[in-house]
């Protein structure tokens, strides 16, 4: 400060520097007035000069980037993190209000306390739905003009073991040809656990009647089903059992497995008539009035699926005396048998 003479006995005090309230809020100035006598007489006065604040500093977040986390299935209203900004100004110029910047979706998920900067959850979160959130928070002072600071907020939703393994299908159907080799690949069942790697472990197994399950094996990690025993369609044409996915906490999910056995032509026809014990047809030649004369019906069966038996006479000489219908097995006597005998 300096004194500037206005009149013979009047002076004014003026500033001799640019003041910053944040560097010094007030000053005590001592003014001495002395006369011209000998010795001189003096008078002293002290002045307190306060520096008024201007809103010349913006608020500053410390830090400008915040990271926080909370577990899924949280309570609504729980405080997740507190944000802090500082303003070197004074009074209303330093009073701050916090809010989420221009993001209505985030405002539905999170609430920011305008006075404290505390961020809380507006709802209960599901990590499998949304694992993390990014948004911006602004701190605004109450000065004129307003000054602002910006901070970025990153919130992760921590996993809980709240998801069970779920099969991608309720029913798995496979087709495999009979007589395949052991360990032959039949197919895969697949289950998914949407928890994070920490909680999404599970194993596969098979359940069902022992006579059904014992023919197959499932890889407990991949869900691959392979053949373990002989498959004979003529014995069992369809297998039904259950695939099980068991999580590490013991929870289980189930899916049906149906395996159709495809036929191979691995069985020959078997005669039902004639047989070793029943192989004779008696014919009274005197009663024959016309030819070819029906003698009997030969019957054979084949256990293979869709097999059609075709009948024929093996000996060429027999074909002169007998006729057999290929599709029905009907056996007839010809007139040449009578002529030759």
Question: Measured between alpha carbons, how far is 189 from 211 in angstroms, rounded to an integer?
Answer: 21
pLDDT of residue 268: 75
Question: Measured between alpha carbons, how far is 215 from 261 in angstroms, rounded to an integer?
Answer: 12
- Rg for the chain, CA atoms, rounded: 51
Tell me 72's DSSP state: S
Tell me 92's DSSP state: G
Q: What number of other Cβ atoms are within 10 A of residue 249's Cβ?
A: 10
φ, ψ dihedrals at 237, nearest 5°: -90, -25
Predicted confidence band of residue 139 (pLDDT cuts 50, 70, 90): very high
Q: What is the pLDDT of residues 17-55, one digit of tens each?
A: 787 777 777 888 888 888 888 888 889 889 888 877 788
Residue in 325, 329, 336 with CA at minimum distance from that of residue 300: 329
pLDDT of residue 247: 87
Tell me the mean pLDDT in the region 266-279. 81
Predicted confidence band of residue 206 (pLDDT cuts 50, 70, 90): very high
φ, ψ dihedrals at 37, nearest 5°: -70, 180
Predicted confidence band of residue 157 (pLDDT cuts 50, 70, 90): very high
Residue in 134, 119, 131 with CA at minimum distance from that of residue 159: 131
Question: Measured between alpha carbons, how far is 77 from 86 in angstroms, rounded to an integer?
Answer: 25
Q: Are strands 224-227 and 185-188 parallel, antiparallel or unpaired?
A: antiparallel
Q: What percent of the chain has pLDDT over 70?
A: 98
216 pLDDT more than 90 = yes
Predicted confidence band of residue 271 (pLDDT cuts 50, 70, 90): confident
Q: Which domains does the chain have, with CATH numbers?
A: 2-50 (no CATH), 60-158 (2.60.40.60), 166-262 (2.60.40.60), 270-340 (no CATH)
Mean pLDDT of the chain: 88
Predicted confidence band of residue 86 (pLDDT cuts 50, 70, 90): very high
pTM greater than 0.85: no
Question: Measured between alpha carbons, how far is 244 from 253 in angstroms, rounded to an integer?
Answer: 6
**Contact of 210 with 236, CB cutoff 8 Å:** no
Long-range contacts of 285-290 (CB under 8 A, 24+ apart): 285/338, 288/333, 288/338
Tell me the mean pLDDT in the region 72-97. 93
pLDDT of residue 341: 64
Alpha-carbon dihedral angle through residues 171, 172, 178, 179, given to the nearest 10 degrees: -130
**Contact of 172 with 244, CB cutoff 8 Å:** no
Question: Measured between alpha carbons, how far is 322 from 341 in angstroms, rounded to an integer?
Answer: 14
Among 254-258, 259-263, 306-310, which is the least confidently predicted range? 306-310
């Amino acid at each position: 400060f300096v004194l500037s003479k206005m009149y013979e006995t009047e002076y004014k005090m003026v500033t001799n520097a640019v003041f910053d309230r944040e560097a010094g809020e007030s000053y005590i100035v001592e003014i001495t007035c002395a006369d011209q006598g000998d010795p001189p007489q003096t008078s002293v006065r002290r002045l307190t000069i306060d520096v008024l604040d201007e809103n010349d500093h913006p608020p500053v977040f410390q830090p400008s980037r915040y990271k926080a986390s909370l577990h899924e299935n949280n309570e609504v209203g729980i405080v997740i993190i507190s944000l802090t900004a500082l303003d070197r100004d004074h009074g209303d110029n330093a009073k701050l209000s916090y809010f989420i910047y221009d993001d209505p979706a985030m405002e539905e998920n999170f609430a920011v306390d305008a006075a404290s900067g505390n961020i809380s959850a507006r709802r209960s979160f599901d990590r499998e739905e949304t694992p993390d959130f990014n948004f911006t928070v602004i701190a605004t002072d109450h000065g004129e003009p307003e000054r602002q600071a910006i901070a970025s907020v990153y919130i992760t939703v921590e996993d809980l073991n709240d998801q069970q393994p779920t099969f991608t299908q309720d029913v798995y159907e496979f087709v495999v040809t009979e007589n395949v080799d052991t360990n032959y690949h039949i197919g895969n069942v697949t289950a998914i656990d949407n928890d994070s790697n920490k909680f999404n472990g599970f194993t596969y197994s098979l359940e069902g009647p022992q006579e059904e399950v014992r023919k197959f094996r499932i890889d407990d990690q991949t869900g691959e089903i392979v053949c373990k025993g002989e498959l004979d369609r003529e014995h069992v044409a369809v297998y039904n059992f259950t695939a099980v996915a068991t999580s590490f906490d013991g929870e289980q999910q189930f899916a049906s497995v149906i395996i159709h056995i495809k036929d191979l032509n691995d069985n020959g026809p078997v005669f039902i008539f004639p047989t070793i014990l029943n192989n004779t047809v008696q014919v009274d030649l005197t009663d024959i009035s016309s030819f070819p004369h029906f003698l009997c019906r030969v019957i054979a069966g084949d256990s293979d699926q869709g097999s059609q038996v075709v009948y024929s006479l093996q000996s060429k000489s027999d074909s002169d005396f007998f006729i057999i219908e290929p599709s029905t097995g009907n056996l007839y006597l010809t007139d040449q048998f009578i002529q030759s005998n």
